[in-house]
Amino acid sequence: MSKHRDVIIGRAVTDADFRKRLLADPAATLEAEGFEADPELVEAIRKVDPAAAESALATLGVSADRKAAT
């Protein structure tokens, strides 16, 4: 799996726009952001239910419209 997996997951948690794009089209989003679209990681991301991800983050107090700090 991608050596940047933890960075990608962290960004998906903290950046709602990235998370939405990542869940909608993992390979294209990873490549557009300069990450390797490792097939194993892309397949794992495709298995994530976006509604379940948002629900889990809401439980943790992460807003769906939160943007990453720049």
Pick from 68, 14, 25, 29: which is nearest to 50 by CA? Answer: 25
Summary mean pLDDT of the chain: 90
44-63: per-residue pLDDT in tens?
999 999 999 999 999 998 87
Q: Is the pLDDT of residue 68 over 80?
A: no
Show the tokens assigned to 13. 């948690």
Residue 45 burial class via C-beta count within 10 angstroms: exposed 0-12, middle 13-18, buried 19 and up: buried
Predicted confidence at residue 3, as pLDDT, reads 81
